[in-house]
Each structure stands twice: as structure tokens, then as C-alpha cells.
Amino acid sequence: MIVFAGGCLERIAHAVERAYPEEGCGLLIGRRDTARKLYITEVAESDNVAIGQRNRRFEVDPALRLSLMRRLRGTADDIVGHYHSHPDGTAVPSAHDAAMVFEPELVWLIISVSARRAGDARCWQWDQTTGSFLHLPHRPNLRTGST
Ligand SMILES: [Zn+2]
């Protein structure tokens, strides 16, 4: 189970709506409570620095990641995952996403956006055993929030 602190999912939704029709992306900061529970305490919006095809590709700014790693050093929190949007697509990892798994410990949040409106958000983690993404439940549900 992945538990998002209040406002995190709304921030992501607004950021990816602004990025539309390009993919929006950013980092998820949090801590593992137990082996089965991960808390996301903060999100950091990134520019999408992918070269070309930014409606179908994303890359988190490495400078953002470095500055976060510096800031989080010695705290309980760490970079535990990232998010990106699928403009006019579903919240399911693409074959390209699967090819881009370099750090299997990171959680992937994928959020669909259509007509500049954020929709379905789902969390995934790469499973080395099956060689595929596994869906991880999360709460709260974006649409039951304050928006
Ligand atoms: Zn993707």
C-alpha cells in the first residue's frame, strides 16, 4: 500500500495538467514504514528534459534529483519514486517505460491526462521475478479529494 500525504496527488494532477499535451514528470519523496507500506510525504515537480517527443517521453531533470538528494541527506525521507503522465493515454506502463527501468526499487506513479484534465492515477513497481510491472494500491483516491 502506498499512502500519499494530503495534497500530493492534487499537486501532481495540477502539474501534469499544466504540462499537457506533453508528459509531465517529477519525483516522489517519502519513507518506508514497514515492508508493506510506503508513505509519500512530498512531491517535486520537474521539467521534462527528454530530448524530443515529449508527448510520449519523459526524463526527470538530473539537477533536481541531485539537489533533493543533498537536501534529504540525514533526514528520514528519501527519493522513493517518480511520476509521469500519459497524455491521452491510460495509467498503465508502456513498453518504453518497461525498457527504462534502471532502478527497480523506485515506485512509478502514472497518471492519465486527457483534454487537459488529469484522470486515473496508478502506482507500479517493477518485479524482477516476472519481468513486468506490478500494480500497487494507493490511497487516497485522487477524485475523492478536495478538487
Ligand atoms: Zn510512460
Q: Is the dihedral of CA 93, 64, 45, 24 positive or negative?
A: negative
At residue 122, the pLDDT reads 97
The Å distance, Cα 34 to ligand 1 centre, comes to: 28
Global pTM value: 0.93
Cβ atoms of 40 and 2 closer than 8 Å: yes
Tell me which H or E stretch contains 16.
helix 8-19
Using the mean position of ligand 1's atoms as its centre, give its distance from the Cα of residue 108 in Å: 9
- Rounded to the nearest whole angstrom, what is the distance from the C-alpha of residue 74 to the centroid of ligand 1? 31
Query: b or e along 34-44 (b: 16 or more beta carbons within 10 Å of the residue's beta carbon)?
Result: eeeebbbebbb
Q: How many residues does the chain have?
A: 147
Residue type, position 140, single letter:
P
CATH number given to 2-144: 3.40.140.10
Å from CA of 118 to ligand 1 middle:
15
- Residue 146: per-residue pLDDT: 40
Residue 39, strand partner residues: 3, 31
What are the per-10-residue average pLDDT scores of the chain (147 residues)?
95 98 98 87 97 95 98 96 98 96 95 96 96 95 53
Neighbours of ion ligand 1 (CB under 5 A): 94, 97
pLDDT at 147: 40
